[in-house]
Amino acid sequence: MTFEYHVISTLVEDRPGVLQKVAGLFNRRGFNIDSITVGESEVEGLSRMVISVHADKKGLEQVTKQLNKLVDVIKIKDITKNAVKRELCLVKVNIPNEKARAEIMQYSNIFRAKIVDVTEETLIIELTGDKEKIDAFISLLKGYGIKKISRTGLTAMARGV
């Protein structure tokens, strides 16, 4: 069984319990959801759910069919291949000295990150981008001592019409 990476965009009713129902279908199939983001959509009363998951093609087809049967699910689309994908990350990093502060600020500029909080001992940096960009930025900061990382998980939107 070959598990492939998939990004599924789902339009759902904005009601309590919908997230649990959708996640439960993936769970029952034995798929671990890598990330799931939910927020209001362009249609009042509906939310957009973006799910990234490693799944085999046949199993994912079964989950998609079962999702379509749920009353709360309006539309499902696999946007794995043709989408803009982004993630938001906040990183709190130690500042051992002024030289380190300058280096971290320079890295932030190179990665187009924003410094959103400054204290004498730490910086909190906000970065948006794809998974690889965020992983690379975090890797550079590890030598300074990362205190905390908070990542949103993937959100995505299909290109074109």
Q: Mind listing the pLDDT tens digit for each residue in 19-64?
A: 999 998 888 888 889 999 999 999 999 999 999 998 888 888 888 8
Q: Which of 63, 81, 99 is the last residue of a domain?
A: 81
Average of per-residue pLDDT values in the chain:
92
The residue range of the domain holding 12 is 4-81
Listed range (27-36, 113-122, 143-152) with the worst mean pLDDT: 27-36
Domain stops at, among 81, 98, 126: 81
What are the φ/ψ torsions at residue 30 (nearest 5 degrees)?
85, 20
Per-residue confidence (pLDDT) for residue 1, from 0 to 100: 66
Neighbour tally for 23: CB within 10 Å: 15
- Does 18 share its domain with 33? yes
| 101 and 63 both lie in a single domain | no
Q: Is the pTM of this model over 0.75?
A: yes
With beta carbons less than 8 A apart as the criterion, state whether 6 and 61 touch: no
Contact assessment for residue 55 and residue 2, using Cβ atoms and an 8 Å cutoff: no
